[in-house]
């Protein structure tokens, strides 16, 4: 079930040079676990798609933010494949297709606050999920966020910017809380202010509070896209704020592996997240 995020005017809408389209990787060097992956590009009309659980329904819901450097969305590798896993565990998956309207050269490309569009979409989506929680058989107290790379940054932005919407109220969905009940950031980016230190992105650092949700982090030390310092700096800040955090770091595994298993242990992260969801009381034993 696909749902448009905005009923009429989209805040901070930007003109796009191209119509939204998908691209399948063709170069074998870009394959992940020996398989191609699909990206969505030039997204200007955001949507959420609800995937209902198979069999038992735990009441838990996870909103998934695919990565792609705020330029594209890795829609299967870090999106639909994740939803297949979550729904098999009795968890409702809400896949967010957030706005990535232009390439890196655009002046409004990137993460909040430089570009507000992705956070606007994520906050709006969380409000819609809570508004429709009964209809979609979701426990409104068990809604988490999970994101990869740029989507991992969006997880952190959602975790610290929940007291106030970054756009003007549209309807009743915006009266619902947009605070996630838990957060999972996998090889997140745009978090370290200075690599090699624990200095955190100032926007995230000054907005972390005791209300920031319990968080699961995973990062590889040889990740040459988003440095391990992104996760380390965020973990340190969460600990300082007394926010419960579980961090898994591995020597190898690089970047952008999604849910696809390889020889590297970092790709076994779904089992770690499942155990963690039991630990924090989201899923009953």
Domains of the chain with CATH codes: 2-279 (3.40.50.1820)
β-bridge pairing 47-51 and 92-97: antiparallel
Partners of 148 in the β-ladder? 186
Query: What pLDDT does 29 receive?
Result: 86
Q: What are phi and psi of 90, to 5 degrees?
A: 80, 20
Q: Does 137 have pLDDT greater than 80?
A: yes
| DSSP state, residue 52 | P
Query: What pLDDT does 131 receive?
Result: 98
Partners of 205 in the β-ladder? none
Q: Is the CB of residue 180 less than 8 Å from the CB of residue 131?
A: no
Q: What is the C-alpha separation between 40 and 236, in angstroms, rounded?
A: 34
| Model pLDDT for residues 23-60, shown as the tens digit of each residue | 999 888 889 888 999 999 999 999 999 999 988 999 99
| Model pLDDT for residues 241-266, shown as the tens digit of each residue | 999 999 999 998 888 899 999 999 99
Tokens standing for residue 104: 């890196």
Q: What is the C-alpha separation between 71 and 106, in angstroms, rounded?
A: 10
Q: What is the C-alpha separation between 193 and 265, in angstroms, rounded?
A: 28
DSSP reduced 3-state for 247: strand
CA angle 111, 216, 140 (to 5 degrees): 85
């Amino acid at each position: 079930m696909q749902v448009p995020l905005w009923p009429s005017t989209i805040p901070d809408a930007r003109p796009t040079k191209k119509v939204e389209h998908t691209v399948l990787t063709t170069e074998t060097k870009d394959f992940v676990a020996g398989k191609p992956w699909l990206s969505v590009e030039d997204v200007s009309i955001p949507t959420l798609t609800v995937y209902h659980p198979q069999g038992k329904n735990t009441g838990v819901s996870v909103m998934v933010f695919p990565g792609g450097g705020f330029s594209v969305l890795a829609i299967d590798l870090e999106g639909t494949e994740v939803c297949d896993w979550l729904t098999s565990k009795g968890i409702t998956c809400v896949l967010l297709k957030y706005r990535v309207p232009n390439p890196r050269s655009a002046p409004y490309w990137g993460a909040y606050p430089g570009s507000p569009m992705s956070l606007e979409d994520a906050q709006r989506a969380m409000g819609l999920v809570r508004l429709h929680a009964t209809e979609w058989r979701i426990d409104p107290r068990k809604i988490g966020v999970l994101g990869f790379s740029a989507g991992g940054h969006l997880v952190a932005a959602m975790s610290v910017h929940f007291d106030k919407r970054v756009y003007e109220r549209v309807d009743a969905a915006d009266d619902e809380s947009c605070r996630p009940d838990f957060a999972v950031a996998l090889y997140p980016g745009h978090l370290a202010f200075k690599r090699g230190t624990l200095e955190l992105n100032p926007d995230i650092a000054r907005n972390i509070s005791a209300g920031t949700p319990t968080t699961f982090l995973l990062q590889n030390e040889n990740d040459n896209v988003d440095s391990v310092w992104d996760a380390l700096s965020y973990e340190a800040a969460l600990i300082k704020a007394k926010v419960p955090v579980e961090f898994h770091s591995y020597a190898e595994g690089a970047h952008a592996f999604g849910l696809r298993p390889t020889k590297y242990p970092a790709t076994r992260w779904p089992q770690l997240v499942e155990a963690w969801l039991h630990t924090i009381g989201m899923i009953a034993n």
